[in-house]
Structure formats: structure tokens, C-alpha cells
Chains A and B, each alone.
Chain A
């Protein structure tokens, strides 16, 4: 819609330069200054008519129900994160969010366990995740869907300016029981994980 508006302004300008623009040619009583004002007024009106409507439509179209979409994560997932190493990630509903217990096993031996809390934050229209791995510092993350199937995850500190995040995760639900996550560093994918819903 915005592109349409720009095309329209461009055409009007060209027509004006060729003295073919009906607004000006058909109103001979207008002086040059008045014509400029008239031209600017027309531009502003066109912008308000086409540009803002277009932007509004775009905003409404892209508004996603983050709470509903995040429910796709509920359940017991597993992922092969390395040779002989499996991650088990179990998300259970809690309030407007979910609580997670997860662990990593290598050849059947637990090498890591942790807890997470995911909750909605209406101020940012995103989910915030608290991540606490035994023996490590606490971490806060932000996660949100950018389409019905695609989501992004990054550090809380990067949430206000996601484009500048050095590291982020881009994820996609391939089906209700399968999603993939790609680690992106400096806009380059470095590793992909595949998660399968086991129940």
C-alpha cells in the first residue's frame, strides 16, 4: 500500500513537470505560490488517504496472538544436541505461560538439568523466559512469533533493538510435533537443532 502511494506521488510529480497535471492546468487563477501550497496539500492528503491506511492495514495484518502461538511449545520435546547426547524439554502450562523442566543426557547419564519459566509481557507483546541451569547464572530471554510458525529468541538486553543482536535464534514449527531452531551469529546460521514432540 505504501508503495502504491509512492508510485502515485511520483506520477503526479511527473505530470506536473510536463504541465499535464489537471489540478494545475485546470485552475488558471492560481498563482505559483498558491500552486505550491495546493500541490503540498494534495500530497499530504494523498499520504493520509493511502499511506496511513496502508500502514494501519499492515499493522493489523501482522498482529499475532503471542499467547496462543506460544502454546505450540507445550509438551514433552526431545532433541539430539550432539553425539550420544539428548535433550529432554518438558513444558507444562502455568498461568499465562508455562514452566519447564529439562535435562541433557549423554549415554543415559544426566550431564545437565535446569528450570525455566515463560510468561507473557503485554508491555512488549513478547514472552520473557527465565532460564536457570544448575551451576550456572540465571538468564533472561525474550521470545516472540513473527508469523504463525516462525519465532525469534534473543537475550532480554537485545529485545529493544533485535536487529543489533549479535546472536539470536530463529525457529520454525514445521508441524505441530516438530520444530527447528537455528542459531544465528552475526546474521550467519551456525547450528540447527531439531525438536520432536514425544507426547
Chain B
């Protein structure tokens, strides 16, 4: 399998997914288009450097008696992530992910598996030094058909806020705190 991967990598075929989607959320089009434009017109941000803010172990309260732990360990120029939800000392959800930079699109690509569910593939990019946006990779070629948008902000080096929106309405928020676990 790897030999084929390497062959592809070195040949560097380019392109983005064009998988059609059925949902259209015009308000989200404006949000993402504006964000893409903002990144293009302002000073180019160093996505690889900004991604380093994620390194470490993060913790968030998800619900009563449930905490999420998210580890981001450097691997090459990217990161290996592991995620665990723990309720009363028991793991109730866990997953793994890989985060890396893709220079063809000047964005960070993330792929992750949560046990028992399908793989998720996303693309994220910083729009300022501390704010980023994440969308499904399949929606990148069709920003007019977004499934959802996640907006993130590093309020401080050890505090990360995440806000998930569907049709411009917040459906989920998380506050991550970097721990020394």
C-alpha cells in the first residue's frame, strides 16, 4: 500500500474533492467566503506555525460527569491526535486523528476515526493569529453547500473555544483548557 502512496506523493497530483452535497445554507456561504477572502487579502498567515498552538493535552467539560481529553503530539510537520471521553472514570468514546499541512491549498487537513463511527475528514485554516475555521473537506470545493462550520479561537495559549454552527446557528460549544496531565 505504501509504495503506491509514495508514488502518488512524489508525483504530486493536485485537486480538491468535488463530491456533491444536497444541503444549501446561504448564510454559511457568506461566512466561509468572507473567511477565505480575509485570509487571501490580508497578510498571509503561517498555517504550520499557527497549528503549533494545538500541541499538548486539552481538557473540556462535555456534560455532567463527562470530560473530554484531547492529546496533540507532534509527528513530522503534523500531529497525531487522540481523543477520549471519560464518564465517571470510564472511557465512553475514543478516537484517533492525523493533522497535517497541505501546501496545495495552504490549509490544515485533518482525518480522524472515532471508534464505532465513520471516518471524518476536515480542512481547517487560521483566519487570524488566534482564530480558525474548520469545515468538512468535501465542502471546501462547494462552500455554498456547507454541512457545518466550526469556529475556534485561542483566547489564551491555554484556553481554546470551539463553536459549531449549522445555518449560522450555534449548535455546540466547547471550552478546552490545556492541562499538564
Contact = CB atoms under 8 A, between A and B. Distances in A.
Interface stretch (B52-60, B63-71, B96-104, B166-174): B96-104
Interface residues of B, number: 46
B76 interface: yes
Interface string A138-174: 1111000000000001011111110000110101000
Interface residues of A, number: 59
Interface string B115-134: 11111110000000000000
B103 A117 contact: no
B118 A181 contact: no
Given A94-B115, A132-B75, A181 B4 contact: yes
A115 B19 contact: no
A140 B119 CA distance: 12
Nearest to A97: B113
Nearest to B141: A157
A140 B15 contact: no
Contacts, number: 161
B112 A104 contact: no
Grouping DSSP codes into helix (H, G, I), strand (E, B) and loop, the A interface class, with mixed when no group exceeds half, is strand
B111 A117 contact: yes
A73 B1 contact: yes
Interface in A83-135: 87, 89, 91, 94-97, 99-100, 102, 104, 112, 114-124, 127-128, 130-135
Given A96-B118, A117-B96, A181 B8 contact: no
A157 B11 contact: no
B125 to A, nearest CB: 13
Interface string B1-29: 11111111101011111111000000000
A46 interface: no
A95 to B, nearest CB: 4
Listed residue (B14, B20, B109) with the most chain A CB atoms within 10 angstroms of its CB:
B109
B15 A169 contact: no
A193 B4 contact: yes
Contacts of B18: 157, 160-161
Given A95-B117, A121-B118, A137-B103, A155 B8 contact: yes
30 contacts: A73-B1, A95-B114, A102-B1, A118-B119, A119-B119, A119-B120, A120-B119, A123-B19, A124-B19, A127-B119, A130-B98, A130-B119, A131-B5, A132-B98, A132-B100, A133-B76, A134-B75, A136-B77, A138-B111, A139-B8, A140-B121, A141-B8, A157-B15, A157-B17, A160-B17, A160-B18, A167-B7, A167-B13, A171-B4, A193-B4
Interface of B: 1-9, 11, 13-20, 75-78, 80, 95-104, 109, 111-121, 137
